[in-house]
Structure formats: structure tokens, C-alpha cells
Amino acid sequence: MLLLAAACHDNEVPAPPARAVIAQQVTETIAQDVEHYTGAIQARYQSVLGFRTAGKILARPVDVGDRVGKGDVLARLDPADAGIAVEAAEAAVRAALAERDQAASELVRAEKLTSRGFTAPALRDARRNHLNAAEANLSAARHQHELARNQLAYTTLHAPEGGIVAAVRADMGNVVSSGEPVIELARDGEWELVVDIPEGRLKTVGYGTPVRVTLWSLPGRDYTGHVREIAAQADTTTRTYRVKVTLSEMAADVRLGMTATAWFAGEQEKAIRLPLSSLYRDGEKPAVWVIDPGSARVQLRRVTIGGFREQEMEVATGLEAGDTVVTKGVHKLHAGERVVPLLTNTGGDARNDAGDKGAPS
């Protein structure tokens, strides 16, 4: 019997060793939802400039990206026709002036003759009416002269304010009409970021809402701003609302048109977040492996996912604070398996949290 017992003892299969797993203890954190939207840097005041008269562009001394000051010449039209009009108006003024002077002299002569009784008062009245008409013609001629001079001045396009040439709509040799866009000027002053926000996220955006701004071409830098304008209605195609964020201060190397991202802080709420690597599927339902604190065995528990992020998921239901969840190697486990949890903190540093229990033999 002793030999038989010894033989049976030798044929016993040893229990498999406990598997070491990376795990994380569930905690409820106060999470603040942060939404981000991408747009472009623009000047708050951007003017589309054109000539106030028609003509052929003779010169355009500025190009896209040039910085100009107030009053600088942006473009010129051929002034030949406008110059001829000014000369004709000056000649008309001289003729009207001569006519007025002659009418005044005739009135003086008629008044003298009438006072002496040599002519009838009707002749004096006729001369007075002639003078009034001559003065009116002179006034009209002077106004026409002023208009012609203005038209000549309009052949030169000046910058109304200092800024940067954002776009050029016409080049030398083009014949443009009055008011046709020629130069687009981004005025100096406030710059802003323009983004489009879906209607479902407008609840987190309001006038004056602080915004953090980052630029794709200048990583590592943060800028501040606030919401200045929200479109009154959605775009008919994209169904998004255009939002303009005024920037408090920008570095000298920031240029118009740069791609930027606006970060909006949403509402604060309690949330349970776990790494995406802890997600497992129980059939078609999401689940996680939970470690029983007494037996150190894993059991599959179904959960409801509230949302996904780049490296994390939010668990809406199924877990409670204090639960220990396996976060790596979940596809190698089976129900009831004994494990040795190596707990990690949010920074991802593993530490042996098995205590004095050690690995079961």
C-alpha cells in the first residue's frame, strides 16, 4: 500500500504557476471634456480694395506678403484719360468764369443806363438774370473740375491702413472696372483664429469663453484667446457654426493662414478611464478582466463604454472604484485563472503590488 501511494503521488499533475499581469486599480476622477477644432489664422480686419474708377492697371508695386504702411501706393491706373478730363474741366471753368465776368459788366452798364432813364428797367432785370445764370454755370463747371480731379486721384490706389498684402486679384495690364477687387489687405491689429464647430458642441462655447490655441508649425507653444463671434446660423452645407477666436498675443513668427487648433474646456464630470489595451469582448459585448482580491483569480465582467479617446476609454457602467482590472495581455487569460497583479499608476510605471503573499506554489 505504501508503494502504491508513493506511485500515485508521483503521477499527480502540479498546479500551473500564477500568471503575472499588468493591472490597474479603478478610481473615479474628475474629468473635464476638452474639445479641439482646427482652423486658420486670419486678420480681424481684412479689406478687399479696388479702384473707384475704371481703367487699365499701369503699375502694381506690391506683391503678396509685402508689408505696407498707411498711404502707401498699392497700384496705379493709366491716368491719360483722367488727365484729359481734368484739362477739359479746367477749360470749362475758364470759359464759365469769362462769361460770368462779362455778365457782371453788362449788369453794371445796364444799371447805370436805367438810373439815367436811357433804358427800360426790363433790360436791367434781363442782365441780372444773365449774371445769375453765368454764376450758376461757373459753379457747375467748378464742381465738374473737382470731380475730374477726384477721378484722376482715384487712378492711384493707396493703403487705407498699415498691414500685409494678403492677396492680389489683378495684375499689370488688366483692365478693371470701378470697384473690382484688386488688392486684399490684412490690416494690422487683432488677429483671430476661425474655426467651424458642430451644433452639438455649441453648449460649451459662449461669447468671451477662454480658449487655448496651438499652432501646427510651432509645436510646444500655447497662446490664449477668447471667443469674439459666433455665427447666427449654421452653414447650409456643413451644418457647422463659424466661431472667431480673438488672440491675445501672437509671436512675430506667426503668419497669416497658419493652421491652428482651438482647445475648448467642456463640463467637468466624474469618469472611470482605462487604457484601451484592457478592453476584451465577451461575445459581442465589451468586457474587462477583473481580479478578485481574495482568490487572486480573474473573472470577465461586461461593461458599458461611454466614449473613446486616443489611448483611453471611458467606462460608463460595470465597474466601481476599488476594482482591479487587467490592462495588458487580456487575450491570454481565461476565467478563473490565478494571477499576480503588477499594479500601475497613471504614469504607466509597474510595481509589484502582491504584498507578502508572493507567488502561490
- If asked whether residues 137 and 175 sit together in one domain, one would say no
CA distance 226 to 221: 17
Instruction: Give 191's DSSP letter.
Output: E
Q: What does the pLDDT read at residue 150? A: 95
Domain-located, residue 348: no
Which portions of the chain are predicted below pLDDT 70? Answer: 1-15, 30-33, 266-269, 345-361
- If asked whether residues 257 and 286 sit together in one domain, one would say no
- If asked whether residues 92 and 107 sit together in one domain, one would say yes
CA distance 146 to 153: 11
CA distance 361 to 345: 28
DSSP SS3 for 97: helix
**Cα separation values, 192 from 48, 56, 231, Å:** 18, 35, 15
CA distance 172 to 127: 55
Domain-located, residue 4: no
CA distance 6 to 236: 86
- If asked whether residues 180 and 67 sit together in one domain, one would say yes
Q: What angle do CA 78, 80, 86 make, to 5 degrees?
A: 125
Question: Which CATH number fits the domain that encloses residue 168?
Answer: 2.40.50.100
Residue where a domain terminates, one of 269, 288, 304: 269
Nearest to 337 by CA among 295, 274, 288: 295
Question: Which CATH number fits the domain that encloses residue 337?
Answer: 2.40.420.20
Q: What does the pLDDT read at residue 353? A: 41
- If asked whether residues 265 and 200 sit together in one domain, one would say yes
Q: What does the pLDDT read at residue 17? A: 80
Structural contact between residues 162 and 188, judged by C-beta atoms closer than 8 angstroms? yes
CA distance 134 to 104: 9
Instruction: Give 179's DSSP letter.
Output: T
- If asked whether residues 194 and 257 sit together in one domain, one would say yes
Q: What does the pLDDT read at residue 204? A: 77
Strand order of the sheet with strand 175-176? 156-158, 73-77, 55-59, 175-176
Q: What does the pLDDT read at residue 266? A: 61
Q: What does the pLDDT read at residue 9? A: 53
Four-point Cα dihedral 346, 347, 350, 354, nearest 10: -30
DSSP string, 243-258: EEEEES---TT--TT-
- If asked whether residues 74 and 161 sit together in one domain, one would say yes
Q: What does the pLDDT read at residue 203? A: 80
What radius of gyration do the chain's Cα atoms show? Answer: 43
| Burial classification of residue 83, based on how many CB atoms lie within 10 Å of its CB (0-12 exposed, 13-18 middle, 19 or more buried) | middle
Domain-located, residue 38: yes
Domain region containing 66: 55-78+155-187
- If asked whether residues 196 and 250 sit together in one domain, one would say yes
- If asked whether residues 108 and 174 sit together in one domain, one would say no
- If asked whether residues 310 and 263 sit together in one domain, one would say no
Structural contact between residues 319 and 26, judged by C-beta atoms closer than 8 angstroms? yes
Domain-located, residue 89: yes
**Residue 242 β-bridge partners:** 196
**Cα separation values, 49 from 166, 176, 180, 184, 247, Å:** 11, 12, 8, 6, 25
Domain-located, residue 361: no
Residue with cell 499608476: 345
Domain-located, residue 352: no
Domain-located, residue 357: no
The cell for 172 is 499689370
With residue 277 as reference, give the H or E element that holds it: none
CA distance 30 to 78: 68
Q: What is the pTM of this model?
A: 0.57
Domains of the chain: total: 4
- If asked whether residues 233 and 339 sit together in one domain, one would say no
Structural contact between residues 195 and 243, judged by C-beta atoms closer than 8 angstroms? yes
Tens digits of residue pLDDT in 22-74: 999 898 776 555 788 999 998 888 899 999 999 999 999 999 989 999 999 99
**Which segments within 180-295 are labelled E, that is strand?**
181-187, 191-198, 210-215, 218-230, 240-247, 259-275, 280-282, 285-291
The cell for 49 is 480694395
Looking only at the bridges linking them, the beta strands covering 73-77 and 55-59 are: antiparallel
DSSP SS3 for 17: coil
- If asked whether residues 69 and 110 sit together in one domain, one would say no
Question: Which CATH number fits the domain that encloses residue 226?
Answer: 2.40.30.170
Domain-located, residue 234: yes
